[in-house]
Structure 1
Amino acid sequence: MSANYAPQTAFGRAINTFEESAIAIILGAMTMLTFLNVVMRYVFNSSIFWGFELTLSLFAWLVLFGMSYAVKITAHLGVDAVVTMFPSKTRRIMALVSVVLCLIYAYLLLKGAWDYWAPFAGFQQTSGRWLPFYLGDGQWTSDFFIKTRDQGWYVTETIPMPQWLRFIEGTFNAGEEYEKLPRFIPYFMLPFGCALLLFRFAQAAVDIVQGKRGGLIVSHEAEDAIKDVRHMNAED
């Protein structure tokens, strides 16, 4: 965990533990599955045929889960060489502008992620009309969702359907059995990860306004590495 982040409450520590544990479990599962597939292929001349697709899904989960976590602990890479040339008040204004732009970007990502995932789960896509829209002839609409074709029967190519998940078939597949894992399950990480990203940017915005955080970039890995090298050279 980054030294720049320390949970202040029991709830914050619980959430942080959950996030770190989820990332570790996903990374561990990817590593074990890839290792087992290599052993199966070169030792037993066989393979876990659904392993590749599951590994790809887990990698996507790791990226989408990790991007919001990296915002929280300020682990994203960034260049602030120009920003540091300005006085502190100007830097704070620039930080607020940047976090607002990031909030807009994260919201658009969330909308796009929902619109992609929703049909696979039998939900409706968003219309893009966030305000009442005039239809003509004195009629207005403020519909946020649009009619979308249900694609809940779409399944993955190779990942088998776990028996303990059969209870969802009555809700998402009209009672029909899934031959493979439905796509809305691995794809769920798209809106979930984007929602977490939006939430973390909102937290960062509040911290910047309250003066608890100078910007989205706090750590300077390159500078720290140079200092470490100078320190080692001085000892020599």
Structure 2
Amino acid sequence: MSTHNQTTKGFEETAIAIILGLMTMITFVNVVMRYVFNSSLIWGLEVTLILFAWLVLFGVSYGVKVTAHLGVDALTNILPTPARRFLALVAAVVCIAYAFLLLKGAWDYWAPYAALDRTSGRWFPTGFEKTRSQAWYITDQVPMLDFLRFLEGWINEGEAYDKFPRVIPYAILPVGMALLLFRFIQATFRIWRGQQDSLIVSHEVEDEIDHLQDTRSET
């Protein structure tokens, strides 16, 4: 594995680990406050849900990166290597197109919250169309952080936010879909170069079982 891949893999694993750690910490603190101090973090559940959404969307692209997604390969495994590689490339191209559509939809959903314009075109973007700003939408319970007050002047026409603006938690939609598209493109190049057989999980469990059997037979 290249140094770049190791660095990227480490970054993604770190991000996921941080999110899991924050979710665990907030939930633990909330439980202690509720049962020990008869109080609670009003915003705790909403923040945990936001973090879970970030975790899932990071995990989707990371699963493509490490070929952790499940799939059925009973048919492709009986084909010769050239045919199997061709089908893997076809599947990869379809996944790239699908991820691109998801990215367009994600941008179009998130853009109004950032006071930006949606893309025009039903399937593929043909430009941008004037979109009514929804930057004033806020979360239900999450308090506003003072160091993010600059967003009030940037996207909310100077109006103060009473709660945390939705533009930030919803940003994972275009970010996550862009990362997914990038990972599919990476996987396609790896298949083309013969570094990877498919987009789905490899037979790691079977390999481990074979390795254990070989180890036992040697002993």
| Residue from 26, 30, 55 that aligns with 2:23 | 30
Partner of 1:155: 138
**Contact 2:103–2:177 (CA<8 Å) still a contact in 1?**
yes
- Distance of 1:130 and 1:107 partners within structure 2: 10
Say which SS state the counterpart of residue 107 (structure 1) adopts.
helix
**Contact 1:125–1:145 (CA<8 Å) still a contact in 2?**
yes
Q: Which moved more, 1:107-116 or 1:36-45?
A: 36-45
- Distance of 1:193 and 1:129 partners within structure 2: 21
Cα drift, residue 218 of structure 1: 4.8
Q: Is structure 2 residue 72 aligned with structure 1 residue 85?
A: no
Say which SS state the counterpart of residue 41 (structure 2) adopts.
coil
- Distance of 1:85 and 1:224 partners within structure 2: 18
| Residue from 16, 22, 40 that aligns with 1:47 | 40
**Matched residues, number:** 219
Say which SS state the counterpart of residue 61 (structure 1) adopts.
helix
Partner of 2:98: 105
Partner of 1:199: 182
- Distance of 2:8 and 2:78 partners within structure 1: 36
Structure 1 residues 160, 148: CA separation in 2 closer, same or farther (over 3 Å shift)? same
Q: Is structure 2 residue 59 aligned with structure 1 residue 71?
A: no
**Contact 1:160–1:179 (CA<8 Å) still a contact in 2?**
yes
Structure 1 residues 13, 230: CA separation in 2 closer, same or farther (over 3 Å shift)? closer
CA displacement 1:133-191 (0-9 Å, x = unmatched): xxxxxxxxx95111111000110001100111111210011111100110010000000
Amino acid at match of 2:40: S
Amino acid at match of 2:134: Q
Amino acid at match of 2:78: M
Say which SS state the counterpart of residue 92 (structure 1) adopts.
helix
Structure 1: any 5+ residue segments left out of the alignment? 1-5, 132-141
- Distance of 1:73 and 1:233 partners within structure 2: 29
| Residue from 119, 128, 135 that aligns with 1:126 | 119
- Distance of 1:49 and 1:235 partners within structure 2: 59
- Distance of 1:22 and 1:192 partners within structure 2: 13
**Contact 2:69–2:201 (CA<8 Å) still a contact in 1?**
no
CA displacement 1:90-118 (0-9 Å, x = unmatched): 10011011101111111111111111100
Say which SS state the counterpart of residue 188 (structure 1) adopts.
helix
Structure 2: any 5+ residue segments left out of the alignment? none
TM-score, normalised with respect to structure 2? 0.92
- Distance of 1:95 and 1:46 partners within structure 2: 54
Q: Which moved more, 1:26-35 or 1:214-223?
A: 214-223
Cα drift, residue 228 of structure 1: 6.4
CA RMSD in angstroms, aligned pairs only: 2.2
Say which SS state the counterpart of residue 72 (structure 2) adopts.
coil
Cα drift, residue 226 of structure 1: 4.7
**Contact 2:110–2:174 (CA<8 Å) still a contact in 1?**
yes
Cα drift, residue 234 of structure 1: 6.2
Q: Which moved more, 1:58-67 or 1:217-226?
A: 217-226
Q: Is structure 2 residue 1 aligned with structure 1 residue 18?
A: no
**Contact 2:70–2:201 (CA<8 Å) still a contact in 1?**
no
Say which SS state the counterpart of residue 156 (structure 1) adopts.
strand
Partner of 1:164: 147
Q: Is structure 2 residue 166 aligned with structure 1 residue 188?
A: no
TM-score, normalised with respect to structure 1? 0.85
